[in-house]
A = this chain, B = another copy of it.
Amino acid sequence: MAAGTSETPDRRAVRDFLESTQAGICAALEALDGEARFRGEEIARPGGGVSRPRVLEDGPLIEKAAVNFTHTEGAEMPGAATQRRPELAGRRYEAISVSLIVHPRNPWVPTCHANYRFFLADDPAGGAPVWWFGGGFDLTPYYGFEEDAIHWHRTARAACEVHSPELYPRFKAQCDAYFFLPHRNEPRGIGGIFYDDFDEGGFARAFALWRATAEAFLAAYRPIVERRRDLVWGEREREFQLYRRGRYVEFNLLQDRGTRFGLQAGARTESVLASLPPRVAWRYDWSPEPGTAEARLHEVFLRPRDWADEPLPQPS
């Protein structure tokens, strides 16, 4: 029996979970910020379905956050999605996702991104539908902290172990490979986990893994925010943050498949580009002085490391 067809997928449960994930993450981010509020809309999608972008701007802690829920129902699988699965061309399908990004104001607090998606294509012959889950989260610090990187990756690993111990190394490697800027020969950040096309163990087990990795997001991010939010920053740290945000823009517009595909497929531009940082700077041919806190980002953090296996630094 093929994986992913062993049980009837419960699309209602998937959708309910993502809707409550969006609500829960927005509420948690508002609570962290303390002042700013998400604004939201409900937008019917041309081909069927709905999208509910929610964006928070100009908070004291969070300069911009976007947490978007999208449910697409399509009469025919589009070309781009069928390259990998040509047998699905033309089938009726559903795609449900939450994607989110947080751009904090304080440069000591890292930017984070997460995405959770479910895909299902019906069998026109009345057989079992094809479905899979995808997801993950990755962290982009401006100033790195070993204990934060270790916590981030251990939380990701613990979520993956709900399913099996071999998932985390696979998903971490996929994250490192995906969030990479070839023109800079540089990772986007310290990674995390990233997976797609996941149906291993059947619906119930794959759904449980997926839920665990979604619930892990706040468990991974919130303690890091709490630890760094009161660190004092000035123009130097702000300038470095704005400069490093340029890499984020480069990745999203040059590399990210979701962004490029979304724009080409006619998705709502403001929703797709809600991930872009609120303020960004580019400087020509600049790099930090060796030995500075800014140089440590490259030297220590922007290289693949097995963070989850490292010992937590001892308090000095």
Contacts and interface: CB of A to CB of B under 8 A. Distances in A.
A281 interface: yes
A277 B141 CA distance: 23
A33 interface: no
Interface string A274-298: 1011111111110000000000000
A273 interface: yes
A57 interface: yes
A98 to B, nearest CB: 17
B260 A254 contact: yes
A250 interface: yes
B279 A57 contact: no
A66 B282 CA distance: 13
B260 A273 contact: no
A276 B283 CA distance: 9
B253 A250 contact: yes
A183 interface: yes
Contacts of A272: 183
A278 B281 contact: yes
B57 A283 contact: yes
A278 B279 CA distance: 11
A80 to B, nearest CB: 16
Given A242-B279, A246-B276, A280-B279, A285 B253 contact: no
B64 A284 contact: yes
A82 interface: no
A79 to B, nearest CB: 18
Contacts of A278: 281-283
Query: A249, A279, A282, A283 — which one has the most chain B CB atoms within 10 A of its CB?
Result: A282
A125 to B, nearest CB: 37
Given A183-B263, A183-B269, A269-B184, A280 B280 contact: yes
A266 to B, nearest CB: 8
A5 B274 CA distance: 51
Contact of A254 (B263, B270, B279): B263
A57 B182 CA distance: 26
Interface string A142-166: 0000000000000000000000000
B274 A284 contact: yes
A55 interface: yes
Interface string A168-184: 00000000000000111
Given A250-B253, A269-B183, A281 B282 contact: no
Query: A64, A184, A260, A276 — which one has the most chain B CB atoms within 10 A of its CB?
Result: A276
A285 B260 contact: no
Closest 8 CB pairs of A and B: A253-B253, A183-B263, A276-B282, A55-B284, A270-B285, A280-B280, A183-B269, A279-B281
8 contacts: A57-B284, A183-B269, A270-B284, A277-B282, A279-B279, A279-B280, A280-B280, A280-B282
